[in-house]
Amino acid sequence: MKTSSGITVNLQELIRPEIRELRAYQSHLYPGVVKMDANENPFPWPAGMREALFREDIVFNRYPDSSARELKAAIAGYAGVSSDEILIGNGSDEVIQLILATFGGVGKAVVLHPPTFGMYDAAACVTATAVIRVPLRQGLYLDTEGVLAAASSPEVSTIILCSPNNPTGTLFERTELLRLVAETGKVIIMDEAYAEFSGESIIDEIRNHPNLLVMRTFSKAFALAGLRLGYLLGQATTIELVNRVKQPFNVNVFTQRAGIVAVRYLEKYQAQIAEIKAETARLAKALSEIPGFKVYPTQANFILFQPDDPDIWAEKLLASGFLLRHMGDLPVLGKCLRVSAGLPEENSAFIQAIRAIASERGAIKESEQ
């Protein structure tokens, strides 16, 4: 293209090669469907929380508190850490990028365990961090020895572990995780986005390991996905390093205040979590009863499953009004679908739909014989 002065500008030649190959994340909208694709909490905020938030004295014409001191104090009480052991992020996505901007970059590498959360790869690309992949054993289980071997490479600076893992729902063994923290000598990032559903965490080990960072989020159990609020836990000296690359006003005043109020409603959220876990189990049971389905165990609020023909099933379920996540071709496992627990009535309708589709497909197959 040419500028107004006639100078030719080739934008493709001006950007880094990695960015040239990167494709922007796109979230497609399907009006009128039941969203069961994004692992969100389907319930509305607890009764009274919205009103309590709107009663707060929120000043919109001033910059937010860069240190998010009140929010950190609320999280500190919830997570059992001190305020200086917390960094607040604009969702976990920003936190991932901040960590790799701090410890990654040119000449550095991060170890990932596919299949796992896709934003790790994206953050590595943006920060010019190389990626070393150690696939999960059988597509589900952490290859501890493989990660140890990969971590021995001098360029490796970080290892990201997701437990429960997205998209498999697998909860990795605590002893394996702590072995990697103790033996690799690298920064270990534990993504515990779904810890409220599994009931398992290694936050209590932060005091013992300066190289351990734990990511948490308000997007899942606390139903604040639309406000983008994540946080990072670690020893104060480690958090201070990551804080150096954070933008000063990265989390707005409304989101900060929403997080503070949400923690006050913890007991009501815990009731929601219990119901989501029960609904997830109900969905898993129903899916396992469909002939030709393989359903993987989960410790999160979603289920990975493998129908006889994932492409057809995704299409038919969308036509029936249910949006699932098509995970594509996962390492070892192959094509799979992932479904998040919805509201009880949505889950009942979904179960009816899969049974109807299964019956229809069975009738078609019989007629073809």
Laid out side by side, the sheet with 156-162 consists of 86-89, 230-233, 212-217, 187-191, 156-162, 109-112, 130-133
The percentage of the chain sitting over the pLDDT mark of 70, rounded to a whole number, equals 98
What tokens does 289 get?
């009863």
Task: List the one residue out of 105, 136, 150 whose CA is nearest residue 123.
Answer: 105
- The model's confidence at residue 29, banded by pLDDT at 50, 70 and 90, is confident
> What size, in residues, is the chain?
369
Tell me the average pLDDT of the chain: 94
Label residue 134 by pLDDT band (50, 70, 90): very high
Residues 124, 109: Cα–Cα separation, whole Å? 8
Residues 192-211 pLDDT 10s: 999 999 999 999 999 999 99
Q: Is the pLDDT of residue 366 over 80?
A: no
Tally of CB atoms within 10 A around 5: 5
pLDDT for residue 253 is more than 70? yes
- In sequence order, what are the residues at sequence separation of 6 or more whose Cβ sits closer than 8 angstroms to the Cβ of residue 121? 112, 131
Mean pLDDT to the nearest integer, 15-32: 77
Residue 305 reports pLDDT greater than 70: yes
**Residue among 182, 145, 144 nearest 161 (CA):** 144
Residue 20 has pLDDT above 90, yes or no: no
SS3 letters across the chain: CECCCCCECCHHHHCCHHHHHCCCCCCCCCCCCEECCCCCCCCCCCCCHHHHHHCCCCCCCCCCCCCCHHHHHHHHHHHCCCHHHEEEECHHHHHHHHHHHHHCCCCCEEEECCCCCCHHHHHHHHCCCEEEECCCECCCECCHHHHHHHHCCCCEEEEEEECCCCCCCCCCCHHHHHHHHHHCCCEEEEECCCHHHHCCCCHHHHHHCCCEEEEEECCCCCCCHHHCCEEEECCHHHHHHHHCCCCCCCCCHHHHHHHHHHHHCHHHHHHHHHHHHHHHHHHHHHHHCCCCCEECCCCCCEEEEECCCHHHHHHHHHHCCEECEEEEEECCCEEEEEEECCCHHHHHHHHHHHHHHHHHHHHHHHHHC
Contact (CB, 8 A) for 195 and 219: no
Encode pLDDT of 151-180 as tens digits.
999 999 999 999 999 999 999 999 999 999
Q: pLDDT tens for residues 111-127?
A: 999 999 999 999 999 99
d(CA 348, CA 359): 17
The amino acid at residue 14 is L
Q: What is the pLDDT of residues 71-129, one digit of tens each?
A: 999 999 999 999 999 999 999 999 999 999 999 999 999 999 999 999 999 999 999 99
At 364, the pLDDT band (50, 70, 90 cuts) reads: very low
User: Are the CB atoms for 211 and 181 separated by under 8 Å?
Assistant: yes
Asked if residue 369 has pLDDT above 50, the reply is no
What domains does the chain contain, in order, with CATH numbers?
Answer: 11-42+267-362 (3.90.1150.10), 58-265 (3.40.640.10)
Rounded to whole angstroms, the Cα distance separating 211 from 238 reads: 7
β pairing state of 334-340 and 302-306: antiparallel
Rounded mean pLDDT, 284-289: 98
Residue 56 CA to residue 257 CA, distance in Å, equals: 8
Six token digits for residue 354: 């899969």
The Cα–Cα gap between 190 and 164 comes to 10
CA dihedral 216, 221, 223, 229 (to 10 degrees): 0
Residue 129 pLDDT: 97
Residue 256 predicted with pLDDT over 70: yes
28-37, 242-251, 351-360, range with the lowest pLDDT: 28-37
Residue 130 predicted with pLDDT over 90: yes
d(CA 181, CA 183): 6
The pLDDT assigned to 289 comes to: 96
